[in-house]
Amino acid sequence: MGDFQMFKSKSLQSLFLIALGSLIYAIAINYFLIPTKLGEGGVTGLTTIAYYTLKIPPYLTNFILNGFLLLVGYRFLDRRTIIRSIWAVIWLSIFLKIPVFYTYHTTETIIPTLAGGVLTGVAMGLILNAGGSIAGSTILGRIFNKYFGMQIGSATLFFDLAVAIPSVLIIGFQNMLLTVLELYLSAQLTNVFLSRFGSKKSINIISNQTNLIAQKLSAELHQGITLIKASGYYSQTERPIIYLICSSKQLAEIIPLIREIDPQALIVVDNIRSVRAEELYRLL
């Protein structure tokens, strides 16, 4: 029962993060990209072009085109990803349909370019980290990540540029260059955001009080502690090394515990990226 409740809680959290990411993405489009007549990549780029040329509402184009791509993705991606992607597309269409309350105008077009890139990068990081996508080029990016090992952000950027560069005929050369800059910034932030998932600290502890420290850490952290057999070359004495992985928050609790037992203990801390095998794609 406890495992089911935990699974349900994590699922609800993921759905909330996907909806939040969709909101941020819609804000970037409605408040920064469209008012400045900037383009975008993938399906979103096609929605902006349809809006600039035919005045078709972005939410409508987004819903129809992404619905088609989700059918393509259904054949290559797992069911959970598709369901959460449908959830993201629905919310993105809803948020895109909400009227704009304030239209942002500036002659410094680099400002909305950077703002759009940051917001879309953060939004994509939230959505992808929660196991979803906004379909479009991210569906293709996930397929390339799964079968060719390409980073999701980089693969998505490739497909985005295939739409953004030809948009020069609609938005002009300068705005096309700004669109490419926005897409690059968004892709880099997406990669950084995903690489931070599972970011942990690894700790190696060498002490004369190995057993006491291991017992204390195991009791406090409620997790396994690994003892690595080792011996000192100079002293020729065997002294196991305590090895564990923890979060940055846990590290702040661990150091005082070790100092309390053995102030002379040698502690080596490294930054690592780790996830369970089933979530390995997040690090690629």
pLDDT at 247: 76
The one-digit pLDDT tens for each residue of the chain (284 residues) are 455 565 567 788 888 999 999 999 999 999 999 988 888 888 888 888 889 998 999 889 888 888 887 887 777 777 887 888 889 889 999 999 998 888 777 788 899 999 999 999 999 888 888 877 776 777 777 777 777 777 766 777 788 888 888 888 999 999 999 999 998 898 888 877 776 665 678 889 998 888 899 888 888 887 778 899 888 777 778 888 999 888 777 888 888 888 889 988 888 988 776 555 555 444 45
Environment class of residue 260 by beta-carbon count within 10 Å: exposed (0-12), middle (13-18) or buried (19+)? exposed
pLDDT at 73: 73
pLDDT at 283: 47
Would you kindly state where each structural domain of the chain is located, as residue ranges? 2-196, 199-274
pLDDT at 156: 75
Q: Which amino acid is at 182?
A: E
pLDDT at 65: 86
Contact of 69 with 61, CB cutoff 8 Å: no
Any idea what DSSP says for residue 238? B
pTM summary value? 0.70
Q: Please state, in angstroms and as integers, the Cα–Cα distance from residue 14 to each residue in 21, 107, 135, 153, following that order.
A: 10, 38, 16, 20
- Report how far Cα 158 is from the mean position of its chain's Cα atoms: 18
DSSP-assigned letters across all residues of 145-158: HHHH---HHHHHHH
Instruction: Give the dihedral of Cα atoms 151, 88, 177, 167; nearest 10 deg.
Output: 110
**Please, what CATH class does the domain formed by 199-274 belong to?**
alpha beta
pLDDT at 273: 61
Contact of 47 with 64, CB cutoff 8 Å: no
Q: Please state, in angstroms and as integers, the Cα–Cα distance from residue 27 to each residue in 3, 32, 76, 116, 173, following that order.
A: 36, 7, 30, 9, 24
